[in-house]
Structures are given as structure tokens and as C-alpha cells.
Structure 1
Amino acid sequence: MISLSVDLARQPVVVVGGGKVASKRVRVLQEEKARVTVVSPTVTNELKQRAEAGEIRWLNRSFEASDVRDVFLLVIATDDGDTNDSIARLANGVPLVNRADGGTGGNLQIPAQLSRGKLNLSVTTQGASPKLASRLREEWEKQFPPAYEAYVDFLYECRHMLKASPLSGTEKDHYLERMLDPSYLEQEKQWVMKDEIHNKGGGTICQD
């Protein structure tokens, strides 16, 4: 199995089920700016509040075959295995299908993930132990604090500045290696580095 990153922004997504697992899936999908519709006669308070706030669409009823029409991603998350099997059989035309219970008919695993701006880390155990995946994510939160968002932006900007510079390939690689030192998480050191590259013909420094 190969891991891929999928842009879900503005894509139509249907989540069938309204329990804790569905709430967790919706939370992730909302972060990815997907257009989420939840189909379930009952939902958690979290999902109800999201629907009332207009963040998601809630169809207060049981699943119908027409719900998978023109859907990019289908998340099957009811607490009944037979129901999930029936829904999966109707999802042949859906590009991406996630079965939260790990049953047959799905082709997508939704990993535990951590985002720090352009940095995105994800892990899945392919259903073997979601708790392990969650624990690893918690460890990443400590290992990669919020400062990494600005740090990765800094690396991105410097890389483009170096591309525009007359420096040799060896010199550029040297700079790229230097910037991987954890000390460059400090904003002051970032500015010193950007100024140094700029003075060597590395283009314009972006202002915050």
C-alpha cells in the first residue's frame, strides 16, 4: 500500500454515521476544507453544533442509495457491520471510500496526522491499532512544536532565494544543510540567514 496526499478542499464528501468515529472523521475533513455532508438520524452534539453553525450539512435520516451520487469521498462510519457492507456495495462509482470499521469495500485509510503549515506528517497502522497511530501523533506534537510552521516557511523562502542566486550547486547544498539545524527554529537566526543569502545575490527577502 502506498501513501498519497489528496487535496480535499471544496470536494464533496459524505459521512454516513453520526457517532464518535464520524465526529472524528468530520473533524479531519473540516481541517482539509472539504464540503461535508453527514447522513444519520442521530448525531453527536459536536456534529449537531457544526451543522447548526453551517459548517457541515446534516441529513437527519438513514442512508439512501442516491447519497453517493457525485461524491468524491465516502466515509462509512455506522456502528452496524451489515449496514456498512450494504453501503459499500453501493459505492462502486465513488473514487475514494473509507470504511472506518476496516471492512471490505474501502480503498482509503484516513491516517492520524499532524500539520504545521506546509509540514504534514501522517501515520496509519492500516486498522491494526488506531490507538498506536494516535499515540505517535501525540509524540509528534511534542517533537514538532507550532514554531515549525514558520520554520518550514523559512526553509521554503530560502530555497527559492538560493535558486535565484549565482551560487554554485555545492554552495547551495551547504546552505540547505545548515538550515536543518534546530537552532534555525529561532526567528532571529532565520532573518540572519535570509540576509546572508540575499547579500550573495539570492533575490528579495519576503516581509512577514
Structure 2
Amino acid sequence: MSSFYPVMLRLEGKKVVVVGGGKVAERKVSGLLESGAHLTVISPEATAAIQRLAGEDKIVWQQKLFSVEDIQDAFMIFAATNDRQLNQLVKDCADDQQLVTIADDPNESNFHLPALFKRGRLCIAVSTGGASPTLARKIREQLEQQFDESYVAYMDFLFSKRQWILEEVKDASLKKRLLTAIVSLDSLNSESREKDFQRLYKELDSEAGTLD
């Protein structure tokens, strides 16, 4: 039996179509908003939240029944109506190169969304391969407590320091030691990360010079 291959997709500028306008579709749209994708909802009716997003020009809502032309050139498609036959029709109208997920039939989907949460740049996803979405949500909730809001600023710190180390530090050994050292509980809990980093850099740079 084949298994799913986990991957993080860059959707910026890609056409993503959500067929359906109910609560399930609303959740899909909400999760996609920050991706930078060009979002289109196809549905005769839509929740108040979807209508509001359309009114704010954050998404396009086509107030109509689904037709095959709606998913032409779409990179990713969500069949998220409460009509199983319509969801299957959406899947049947897509070509083999398009990513399609059916809300009520994961076995017919060629991708699915894991239970996930974000802490700034940190994104943690949990999947049980369709065995139990409920268990995936429970595990996600446990991880949410472990990786709390303090990780938001910490991720920004790690990102900026990694970029600086890769660009400014020429010694390969020193570079590796710095990248390892900044990922620590001391760094996570520090109230003066920048000063701590400068002190760490001087110490490790001095040690590297001594070894030379």
C-alpha cells in the first residue's frame, strides 16, 4: 500500500479553488488565507465569513453552481460541499496533474490536510494517514501546549541569526557550532538573546582561533 508523502507547498500566486460555501469550505479558506494563493470559492450560497472575505477582496466568490471551467488551470482544488455526488464530480473533472481533496472521501483524494498549528515561522503538522483524525487533533492539542506562544519570537530570532551566520561566518566548523548552539533552552528562555548571541559568537570565534 502506498503512503502519503509529507511536503510544505509554496502556494503564493497559485490558483486554488474551493467548491462549496459551508462551514467546511470556510475552514479550508481560513487556513489558506496566509498562503498568498489566489483563492476562489464556487457556491450558490456561502457563510457570512466567506461573504465578508469576498467583500474585502481577500478571496473571489463566484455565486454559481459548479462547472468544469471553474477548476481550469487550478493548482489545488477542494471539493467541500455537503453533496457527495457533487464532490465526486469535482474530482472527476480534474486532470491527473491537479491536487484534489474531497472533504467526505479521503480515499478518493490525492492529498489531505493534516491537523496543524503555527507559532510564527514554526508549523507543526500531525497526520494519522486517515486512521483517526480525532487522534491527530488530540496530539496537535498536546503539542500546542508544549510549543507555546514564546516560540513566535524565538523562530524570528533563529531565522535572522541563521541568515547572518550563513552570510558572515566563513569558517565551516564555527558556522556549524553556532547553528547548533543557538538552538537551546537557554536561547529559548533568554530575555536578551541578541547579547547572548554576541557573547556566544565571541567565545566560539576565540576558541576557533585558538585551535587554528
TM-score (norm 1): 0.83
For the residues of structure 1 that align with 2:123 and 2:16, how far apart are their CA atoms?
21
**Distance apart, 1:158 and its partner CA:** 3.3
Q: Secondary structure at the match of 2:40?
A: strand
Which residue in 2 is equivalent to 1:123?
Answer: 126
The unaligned stretches of length 5 or more in structure 1 are: 203-208
Kept after mapping to 1: 8 A contact 2:178/2:201: no
Sequence identity (%)? 33
Taking a change above 3 Å as real, the CA distance of residues 94 and 42 of structure 1, as seen in their structure-2 partners, is farther
Aligned partner of 2:161 in structure 1 is: 158
Instruction: Confirm or deny: 8 A CA contact 2:21 2:81 kept in the other structure.
Output: yes
Query: Given the alignment, which residue of 140, 143, 153 partners 2:143?
Result: 140
Q: How many pairs were matched up?
A: 201
Between structures 1 and 2, the one with greater helix share: 2
Corresponding residue for residue 206 of structure 1: none
Q: Describe the shift of the 1:145–1:104 C-alpha distance in structure 2 as closer, same or farther (beyond 3 A).
A: closer
C-alpha contact 1:183 1:189 (8 A) present in aligned 2 = no
* Match in the other structure for 1:205: none
Residue type matched to 1:165 in 2?
V
Write the letter of the residue equivalent to 1:137: R
CA distance in structure 2 between the aligned counterparts of 1:98 and 1:28, rounded to whole angstroms: 14
Q: 1:4 aligns with which of 7, 31, 34?
A: 7
Q: What residue in structure 1 maps to residue 18 of structure 2?
A: 15
Structure-2-length-normalised TM-score: 0.82
Unaligned 5+ residue runs, structure 2?
Answer: 206-212
Aligned match of 1:31: 34
Aligned-partner Cα distance in 2 for 1:48–1:83:
22
Correspondence 1:74 to 2:73: no
Query: Is the contact made by 1:37 and 1:59 (CA closer than 8 Å) also made in structure 2?
Result: yes
